[in-house]
Amino acid sequence: MAERNGLDIDGVRVDYGSQTVLHDLTLHVPVGVPATGAASATALLGPSGCGKSTLIRAIAGLETLHTGRIRFDGQDVSRVPPHRRDFGVVFQTGQLFESQTVSRNIAYGLRARRWSRRDIAARVDELLTLTRLTVLRDRPATALSGGQAQRVALARALAPRPRLLLLDEPLSALDRRLRDELAAEIRDILQATGTPTVLVTHDHSEAAAMADRIAVMRDGGIVQVLPPDELWRRPRDPWVAEFLGCTAIVDADVRDGLATTRFGALPVDRADGPVQLGLRPESLRVVAASGADPAGVLAEVIRVVSLPTGFRLRVRLVGVGATDGAGECTEVDAVADGPVGARVRVGLDAERVAVIGG
Ligand SMILES: Nc1ncnc2c1ncn2[C@@H]1O[C@H](COP(=O)(O)OP(=O)(O)OP(=O)(O)O)[C@@H](O)[C@H]1O
């Protein structure tokens, strides 16, 4: 294989006792985004227990590989101890030296690498500014909020200028608002430092906010890797579609670039024949059945849920049996408002429909 820059994970298997947690896992993580040259960030996204943290730990050198190898810029690091890999790591919580100040925590890796006092002071100042922690520099780590502590952990991991950063659920201990804020902030910091990153999350929006590529994991393997917007539009199979938030999978028939379903038609870049579509609540448009527009399918509202983002309806298609076409889909969720019992017409918002099949 031609030598590539970045991280190459080839056929890696990791066992815990008799349980194989990573199966013949292969993944390439580039250093930069080809189109822009910006530092690349890859999010590992998958259900609980699929092996995300194990993979991050294996990359960090904290798990023994049963088979396979891990290389960085062509160098085999599979047997290189963690502290010699030149990778920075941030875990969920609890990694700071509590008795030490913010500055000393950030300086930790630099002292261990025997940087001069002057260089350490300059680098710590740089990171305090970058992570907006300057006013907290002399504060003991015990007196920080959760969000501040994670920024210190990030600054500490970045201080020695690692060639790769590994983040394992760095925001999961924080509340929703802070997570959104910090996700964007971390992305900016990684871009400013030009540090390629692999991060673990189980939150789709966090993955999209922090990463330019998402690697979907299932049962110890990688099933699909794509930029977020492409992944939402082209999940490779119904499992990935449902994992990514599609609440209904419907069958469609493609003819001359147009996929037709009972909800309506949409243009697709596919050959003639059957295709499956993944529908999210946002993929459907709901109008009152009395309207003049005959498009879409007749349905009845059976449930209304009030979410922070607006109302969500569950509607049951009228006159459609459980196995009567439409991919056996007789109920769908839609972002819309309306009273239970109301008759509506449900159509597609073509831009928001996922075409399954990679
Ligand atoms: N130290 C360990 N010893 C034995 N089994 C382990 C160990 N760590 C993890 N496992 C098992 O390995 C599997 C994968 O765990 P891992 O933590 O990698 O998953 P994950 O995808 O990160 O999950 P989550 O999203 O819940 O954190 C699970 O079945 C877990 O119980």
Which ipTM was obtained for this model? 0.96
Report which of 8, 75, 53 is spatially closest to residue 172, judged by C-alpha positions.
53
Pocket lining: 49 vs ligand 1, CB cutoff 6 Å:
yes
CA distance 197 to 162: 10
Domain ranges of the chain: 7-233, 239-355
Q: Is 50 in the pocket of ligand 1 (CB under 6 A)?
A: yes
Span 187-205, mean pLDDT?
Answer: 90
Encoded tokens for 101:
């100040």
Pocket test for ligand 1, best of 14, 53, 217 (most atoms within 8 A of CB): 53
**How far apart are alpha carbons 146 and 119 in whole angstroms?**
28
CA distance 312 to 297: 18
| Residue 322 pLDDT | 52
Nearest CA to ligand 1 atom 16: 51
Tell me which residue has its CA closest to atom 24 in ligand 1. Answer: 48
Confidence check: pLDDT of 161 > 70: yes
Average pLDDT over residues 322-347: 76
Q: Is the CB of 311 under 6 A from ligand 1?
A: no
Atom from ligand 1 closest to the CA of residue 51:
18
Q: Are 12 and 22 in contact (CB under 8 A)?
A: yes
Nearest alpha-carbon partner for 355 in 223, 290, 224, 259: 259
pLDDT digits (tens, 9 = 90+) for 58-107: 999 999 999 999 999 999 999 999 989 999 999 887 688 888 999 999 99
CATH 3.40.50.300 fits 7-233, yes or no: yes
> Which of 13, 19, 168, 219 has most ligand 1 atoms within 8 Å of its beta carbon, as the pocket-test mutant?
19
Mean pLDDT of 212-219: 96
Give me ligand 1 centre to Cα 54, in Å.
6
pTM, 2 dp: 0.89
Task: Compare 228 and 4 and report the one with higher pLDDT.
Answer: 228
Distance (angstroms) between ligand 1 centre and the Cα of 225 equals 21
CB-CB neighbours of 178 under 10 Å? 15
The minimum-distance atom of ligand 1 relative to the CA of 17 is: 4
Query: Is pLDDT at 141 greater than 50 in this prediction?
Result: yes
Give the Å distances, CA to CA, from 357 to 27, 120, 218, 269, 317. Answer: 20, 51, 17, 11, 26
Residue nearest to atom 17 of ligand 1 (CA): 53
What SS3 string covers 191-220? Answer: HHHCCCEEEEECCHHHHHHHCCEEEEEECC
- Length of the chain measured in residues: 358
Please report the pLDDT score of residue 81 as a whole number.
95
326 pLDDT band, cuts 50/70/90, is very low
